[in-house]
Amino acid sequence: MENQKDQDEVYMRKALVEAEAARAAGEIPVGAVVVCDGRVIARAHNLTETLCDVTAHAEMQAITAAANALGGKYLNGCTLYVTIEPCAMCAGAIGWAQLKRIVYGAGDEKRGYRQFAPQALHPKATVTGGVLADECRALMQQFFQERR
């Protein structure tokens, strides 16, 4: 069996594929997947421009899709992988969904939940940050540099 770090990187690569898809669509490149019992049950990327909807963050759509896949709105047994630290909105949704494990790539000093909503997650949730952080961050930096 792989160790947790290797496994986290495998799933983060799937989230990165989603982030790439966002970039290809002209969206801020953030991707997310939800994993349950070793299976990816939801994949999503940021669609705020395409949908003209500030709530269409990768995590929000991944949570909605995962609940749909499971047929229940709570995701207690699942892990969310997302390329960038969730914002306050997404952290709130993660809390409501009772997700117990969150793995993110690069931190977000400007809008990340750690600063704006540090208690929004479920009290029993564990968080792992920094997985493939350089790759996750590079996608974002490249996106914003191209738009300057």
CB 121 within 8 A of CB 98: no
CB 87 within 8 A of CB 118: no
For a copy of itself, give the closer residue by CB, 74 or 144. Answer: 74
| Residue 144 interacting with a copy of itself (CB under 8 A) | no
Residues 100-129 touching a copy of itself, rule: CB under 8 A, are 115-117, 119-120
Assess whether 9 carries a catalytic annotation.
no
Among the listed residues 18, 27, 59, 85, the single catalytic one is: 59
Could you give the string, one character per residue 32-71, with x where binding to a copy of itself holds by CB under 8 A and - elsewhere?
Answer: ----------------xx--xxxx----x--xx--xx--x
Residue 84: strand, helix, or coil: strand
Q: Looking up tokens 């996750």, which residue turns up?
A: 136
Q: SS in 3 state form for 88-120?
A: HHHHHHHHHCCCCEEEEEECCCCCEHHHHCCCC
Q: Which residues are catalytic?
A: 59
The binding site for a copy of itself (CB under 8 A) comprises 48-49, 52-55, 60, 63-64, 67-68, 71-74, 87-93, 95-97, 115-117, 119-120
